[in-house]
């Protein structure tokens, strides 16, 4: 059980804690009890050979659901996952193998009928095994592609700023959306989609997006600047007026379902990775070692491919070297003020290095680890927000003050394109 304490800051009451969900006991497919999840969840799971992990979610209104897998807890190697969307009758709606980072999966489905649905994670091969993380994000702000033909500015589907646009590309097709832009950055990002009903469909993974002005003059094009082969394009400081966004396949023969988010007047996608806080203190020695915060990464030094904090998702960090069952305090701050020295209080070498804008209380598990997590709402106003994390282990075995602090990690909130 975890309690959340919000301090008075911009984030208090806005960045709400959702939590990280652990995969339920096996069997958790339809022969047993699937693990229940919600929009915005982060799930930590583990595949054994031949395993199928079912996650159940209730959809009450038309919703575009996207999910992606990444490096699992305690691992630097990707598990080669396969991700599926299924309805309550276990009918396949959408699936993906490697549209995420490396051999990770990234799939989407526009669900229009309320009911119970399943996200299923399995291995690419029957022998695939290993840990994984799955993030789930949802939006009900969706514009559905208009009736074909909708190619060219005259036939474009009316689009809406801040909405996802969902449709299907057939071979040789392109889809146009008209946008009345209030001014500022114009941000267009493609992603996976699916029809939300049988039969199953594939996503248009290898996309090209383009933006045109009111006179159909090309302003910019993007091929693979998004996740994997998806596309992301920013037209900086575009004046107010009429614009058109186009999406198509990379090759004329490409086809499939897509989602296309059009953001108006939003911050450009953030580029900063998660890493050590600049000029911040290192952790101090406790009775179980130095408490260490780590971002999940594809290498042991933490400098490999990492999933950044993203709007509409729960972000988590792993904390190790704790006395089992000990009390833990996690701090999330907007700044890194001059470190506060805890030495005079009886904790030599220990410092608090982040502003205490949000704090939460946790307990270490029997293995001496814990997780710091934060749900970031799907509002683009948070893109570019700097965040800093530090944790502290509380135990009388540490020192006279009974506290050992961790290192500081820093990062920037990103948008829906997460490469």
pLDDT digits (tens, 9 = 90+) for 130-175: 999 999 999 999 999 999 999 999 999 999 999 999 999 999 999 9
The phi-psi region of residue 74 (left if phi > 0; otherwise alpha if psi is between -120 and 50; otherwise beta) is: left
Mean pLDDT of 164-190: 96
- Tens of pLDDT, residues 213-233: 999 999 999 998 888 889 999
Using alpha carbons only, give the angle 88, 90, 92 rounded to the nearest 5 degrees.
Answer: 115
Concatenate the DSSP letters of all residues of 338-378 into one string: SPEE-GGGT-TT-EE-S--SEEEEEE--TTS-EEEEEEE-S
pLDDT computed for residue 418 by the predictor: 46
**Tokens matching residue 293:** 């915060």
Q: Which residues contact 142 (CB under 8 A, 6 or more apart)?
A: 62, 63, 64, 110, 163, 164, 165, 166
Least confident window among 45-54, 102-111, 190-199, 204-213: 190-199
Check if the beta carbon of residue 99 is closer than 8 Å to that of residue 105: yes
pLDDT of residue 302: 67
Q: How far apart are CA 32 and CA 11, in angstroms?
A: 39
Model confidence band, residue 267 (pLDDT cutoffs 50, 70, 90): confident
Residue 22 or 297, more confident: 22
CB atoms within 10 A of CB 359: 16
Are 302 and 295 spatial neighbours (Cβ–Cβ below 8 Å)?
yes
Q: CA torsion, points 59, 296, 278, 40, in degrees to nearest 10?
A: 0
User: Given this chain, do its domains 34-139 and 142-264 carry the same CATH topology?
Assistant: yes
Give residues with Cβ within 8 angstroms of 208, minimum separation 6: 221, 222, 223, 231, 247, 248, 249, 250
CB 87 within 8 A of CB 54: no
The whole-number average pLDDT for the span 182-189 is 96
* C-alpha of 261 from chain center: 15
Strands 52-59 and 115-123: antiparallel
0.75 cut: is pTM over it?
A: yes
Q: Which fold does the domain 34-139 belong to in CATH? A: Jelly Rolls (2.60.120)
Three-state SS at 187: strand
Residue found by looking up tokens 């009451």 in the block: 13
Average pLDDT over residues 106-129: 97
Tell me which fold the domain 275-412 belongs to. 2.20.130
Residues 81, 29 contacting (CB under 8 angstroms):
no
Q: Can you give the pLDDT at residue 241? A: 98
Half-sphere exposure at residue 75, Cβ-oriented, CA atoms within 13 angstroms: 17
The predicted model gives 191-212 an average pLDDT of: 92
With 0-12 / 13-18 / 19 or more C-beta atoms within 10 angstroms meaning exposed / middle / buried, residue 137 is: buried
Cα(319)–Cα(323) distance, rounded to whole angstroms?
11
Contact (CB, 8 A) for 64 and 138: yes
With contact defined as beta carbons under 8 Å apart, do 58 and 116 qualify?
A: yes
CATH architecture observed for domain 142-264: Sandwich (2.60)
Alpha-carbon dihedral of residues 202, 203, 204, 207, nearest 10 degrees?
-150
- Any idea where the domains of the chain sit in the sequence? 34-139, 142-264, 275-412
Token readout for 339 is 């470190």
Closest to 42 measured CA to CA, from 316, 329, 345, 302: 316
Mean pLDDT estimate for the chain: 91
**Cα first-last separation, the chain:** 33
Q: Give percent of the chain with pLDDT exceeding 90.
A: 79
Instruction: For 372-398, write each residue's pLDDT tens digit.
Output: 999 999 888 898 899 999 999 999 999
Distance between CA 175 and CA 168 in Å, rounded? 8
Instruction: Give per-residue pLDDT as tens, 9-18.
Output: 334 333 443 5
Is pLDDT above 60 for 417? no
The per-residue pLDDT for 11 is: 42
> At residue 289, does pLDDT exceed 50?
yes
Query: What pLDDT score was predicted for residue 74?
Result: 85
- Banded pLDDT at 75 (limits 50, 70, 90): confident
Average pLDDT of span 323-328: 97
Strands (E), 33-154: 35-36, 42-47, 52-59, 63-71, 81-86, 92-96, 106-111, 115-123, 130-139, 142-144
What pLDDT, on a 0 to 100 scale, did the predictor assign at position 389?
97
Residue 65, pLDDT > 70, answer yes
For residue 1, pLDDT beyond 80? no
Q: How many CB atoms lie within 10 A of CB 65?
A: 23
pLDDT at 16: 40
Q: How many Å is the Cα radius of gyration of the chain?
A: 22
Among the listed residues 101, 107, 113, the one whose alpha carbon sits nearest the alpha carbon of residue 55: 107
């Amino acid at each position: 059980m975890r309690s959340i304490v919000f301090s008075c800051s911009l984030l208090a009451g806005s960045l709400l804690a959702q939590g990280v969900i652990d995969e339920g006991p096996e069997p958790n497919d339809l022969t047993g009890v699937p693990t229940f999840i919600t929009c915005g969840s982060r799930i930590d799971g583990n595949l054994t050979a031949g395993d199928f992990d079912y996650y159940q979610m209730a959809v009450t209104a038309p919703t575009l659901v996207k999910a992606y897998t990444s490096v699992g807890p305690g691992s630097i190697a990707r598990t080669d996952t396969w991700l599926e969307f299924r309805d309550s009758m276990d009918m396949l709606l959408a699936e993906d193998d490697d549209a995420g980072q490396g051999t990770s999966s990234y799939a989407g489905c526009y669900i229009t009928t309320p009911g119970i649905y399943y996200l299923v994670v399995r291995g690419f091969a029957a022998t695939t095994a290993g840990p994984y993380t799955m993030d789930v994000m949802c939006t009900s702000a969706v514009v559905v592609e208009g009736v074909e033909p909708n190619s060219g500015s005259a036939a474009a589907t009316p689009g809406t700023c801040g909405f996802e646009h969902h449709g299907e590309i057939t071979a040789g097709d392109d889809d146009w959306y008209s946008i009345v832009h209030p001014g500022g950055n114009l941000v267009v990002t493609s992603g996976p989609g699916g029809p939300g009903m049988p039969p199953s469909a594939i996503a248009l993974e290898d996309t090209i997006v383009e933006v045109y002005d009111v006179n159909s003059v090309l302003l910019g094009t993007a091929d693979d600047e998004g996740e994997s082969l998806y596309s992301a394009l920013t037209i900086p400081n575009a004046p107010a007026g009429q614009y058109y966004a186009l999406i198509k396949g990379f090759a004329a023969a490409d086809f499939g379902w897509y989602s296309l988010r059009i953001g108006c007047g939003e911050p450009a996608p953030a580029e900063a990775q998660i890493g050590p806080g600049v000029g911040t203190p290192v952790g101090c020695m406790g009775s179980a070692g130095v408490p260490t915060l780590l971002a999940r990464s594809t290498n042991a030094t933490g400098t490999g491919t990492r999933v950044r904090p993203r709007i509409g998702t729960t972000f988590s960090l792993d904390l190790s070297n704790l006395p089992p069952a000990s009390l833990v305090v996690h701090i999330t701050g907007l700044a890194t003020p001059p470190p506060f020295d805890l030495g005079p209080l009886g904790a030599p070498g220990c410092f608090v290095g982040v502003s205490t804008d949000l704090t939460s209380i946790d307990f270490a598990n029997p293995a001496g680890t814990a997780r710091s997590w934060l749900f970031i709402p799907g509002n683009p106003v948070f893109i570019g927000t700097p965040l800093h994390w530090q944790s502290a282990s509380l135990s009388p075995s540490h020192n006279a003050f009974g506290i050992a602090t961790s290192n500081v990690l820093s990062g920037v909130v990103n948008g829906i394109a997460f490469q």
